[in-house]
Amino acid sequence: MGTEFQLGAQPWWVNLLWVAPFLAFAIWRPKRLQLSWARLIGCALFAIAFGFVEAAVVVYLRAATGLLPGYHGTLIDVQHMASDAYQQSQSIRDFPPSLLTMETFREAATMVILVTFSLLTASRMRERWAIFIWTFAFWDAAYYAWLWATVRWPSSLKTPDVLFLIPQPWVAQVWFPLAISALSVLAVLLTKTRPVPA
């Protein structure tokens, strides 16, 4: 039995994230971003690696709370046993309060890392904001890709997920953050300075 497609996220204000890529595009378009391909590729590689770290932490948390069937075996065992059994959006209520508190602080630390990275990577505020959006988008997409590669979760783009815990849980299907990430990458690419022909 498949999950029905859900258009929005909860709470309602999480849906305002759709505005971010379009607003960024509108702001950056008149005066293009001064970002080199080398910088964008380097930032994407950082984000992909950081996405793996985040995915590994989530796998460890699932195992620590007993929510990851087969984790005593190999990754193949986990992939066979856990992909359909685990429901991230429902498991949040089963987390011990101490781990939930730790997870909330981990999420805050993740945002500090991404913001600091963008501050250190570019000198002007508009490029810093672009690097943050770019890096966040690749990090978010890589997080889901690494989870699927290691434990075969999420089982589909319609799988519900807890996207964030601050200030309260944000819940949406996996397609939602991936679509916003794709639009964010597109906004940066469409407003990046074109190379000058030789």
Give tens-digit pLDDT for 92-112.
Answer: 676 778 888 888 999 999 999
Taking the model in full, what pTM does it have? 0.88
Interstrand relation of 160-164 and 170-173 (parallel, antiparallel or unpaired): antiparallel
Q: Give 119's contacts (C-beta < 8 A, 6+ positions apart).
A: 128
Q: Look up residue 136 and give its two tokens.
A: 């966040």
Give mean pLDDT, residues 70-79. Answer: 61
Measured CA to CA, the distance from residue 69 to residue 78 in angstroms comes to 6
Domain ranges of the chain: 37-191
Provide, for the chain, the percentages of residues in helix, strand and coil under a 3-state DSSP scheme, each rounded to the nearest 5: 65, 5, 30
Q: What does the pLDDT look like over 151-176, one tens digit per residue?
A: 888 989 999 999 999 999 999 999 99
